[in-house]
Amino acid sequence: MAIVFSGVRPSGEIHLGNYLGAIKVWVELQREHQCFYCIVDLHAISTPYNPKDLKKNIVKTCLAYLVAGIDSKKSVLFLQSLVPEHTELAWLLGTLVPVGDLTRMTQYKEKVKKHKQAKAGLLNYPILQSADILLYRAELVPVGRDQIQHIELCREIASRFNRTFGKFFPLPKPFLSEGEKIRSLTDPTKKMSKTDNPQSYISLFDPPDLIYQKILKAVTDSGKEIRFSPLKKPGISNLLLIYALISGKEIKKVEEDFEGKSYLELKKSLAELLIDELEPFRLALKEHSESEIIKVLKEGAEKAKEVAQENLAQVKELMGLRV
């Protein structure tokens, strides 16, 4: 049994890519491992945001986890800012990281270009992410491919700490899933992202008519053949992958089911499949109150603190900070 840590920024709508690439994977991992699943709100404020929207997004993100099958009795589900040990460990680990290691991070460069400002919080994002993971001595980290560089830095930070102060942290490994490959509906050369045009993604809470409209407008490719070929037919391949992951069928079987049929038939069938799959999320939005969800996060934070405080105390002992 491994210790697992993962988190999602509550910086927008939880979408189909998050669901297939992260949340469904988390549900599977909790069956065999000790899992810490975090809503990383401190990361969300490293780029411009609206405070009112942030709170709504935190609640909807937690609700999505619960509806998808994250069991708050099996897994520790919590809000990052409720466990201050995350930021304290980030400061301690920051003393081991050369500035050059941070400025070469691809995501930092991309976000500075996008937001036109180089904030210290954005620069230090990977240190806080490393603290999130190492605070629980996690061995396995479900992440997207865009986070692999950050996990490599986390492993390097853990190694530096172990060499300098004594072996304490395991070297965490990234865990990728097929669902992580879900692409944008409007530009299948890019991954599905909640920071893009809303037409480019399916929110887990989208109403049926909107899901139908977005899928029917999804970008496809030239030709008529329904075939999985990500390089030659990225649009159709993306729809086939979504269909396979939602239906539980092999992609080859989905190709066979739609052999000789039109792109429109595939889209209509996929839209219906998604509307049925996501119905529990729409219903939950009406059935659960904000106070219920916040209670779950607070209870999870208390469980997380027990582990966090013990591990942080040992880190400080090794660093000579306990008197």
Residue 111 annotated among the catalytic residues of the structure: yes
Average pLDDT over residues 48-64: 92
Q: With bands split at pLDDT 50, 70 and 90, how would you rate the model's confidence at 256?
A: very high
Residue 322 clears pLDDT 80, i.e. is over it: no
pLDDT: which is higher, 301 or 48: 301
Q: Which of 191, 214, 233, 267 is catalytic?
A: 191
Under the banding of pLDDT at 50, 70 and 90, the label for residue 178 is low
- Give the residue with greater pLDDT, 104 vs 177: 104
pLDDT score for 242: 95
Determine whether 295 is an active site residue.
no
Which of 52, 74, 109, 111 is an active site residue?
111
Q: Span 241-258, mean pLDDT?
A: 94
Q: Which one of the listed residues 60, 181, 194, 214 is annotated catalytic?
A: 194
Identical fold for domains 3-180+290-318 and 183-282, yes or no, is: no
Per CATH, the architecture of 183-282 is what?
Answer: Orthogonal Bundle (1.10)
Is residue 8 within 8 A of residue 40, CB to CB? The reply is yes
Sign of the torsion angle spanned by Cα atoms 289, 295, 300, 305: positive
DSSP state of 181: G
pLDDT in the model for residue 179: 66
Q: What is the mean pLDDT of residues 89-108?
A: 90
CA distance 31 to 29: 5
Domain boundaries, the chain: 3-180+290-318, 183-282
Confidence of residue 227 (pLDDT cuts 50, 70, 90): very high
Q: Please give the pLDDT value at position 120.
A: 86
Give residue 100's pLDDT.
87
Q: Which CATH superfamily groups domain 3-180+290-318?
A: HUPs (3.40.50.620)
Q: Global pTM? A: 0.89
Average pLDDT over residues 207-211: 97
Residue 54, pLDDT > 70, answer yes
Average pLDDT over residues 42-51: 91
Bridging pattern class, strands 34-39 and 76-79: parallel
**Is pLDDT above 60 for 272?**
yes
Longest alpha-carbon distance in the chain: 74
Mean local confidence (pLDDT), 199-228: 94
Rounded Cα–Cα distance for residues 74 and 312 (Å): 23
The DSSP secondary structure of 251-315, one letter per residue, reads HHHHHHHTTT--HHHHHHHHHHHHHHHTHHHHHHHHHS-HHHHHHHHHHHHHHHHHHHHHHHHHH
Residue 315 has pLDDT above 90, yes or no: yes
For the ranges 13-17, 36-40, 44-48, 143-147, the one whose mean pLDDT is highest: 36-40
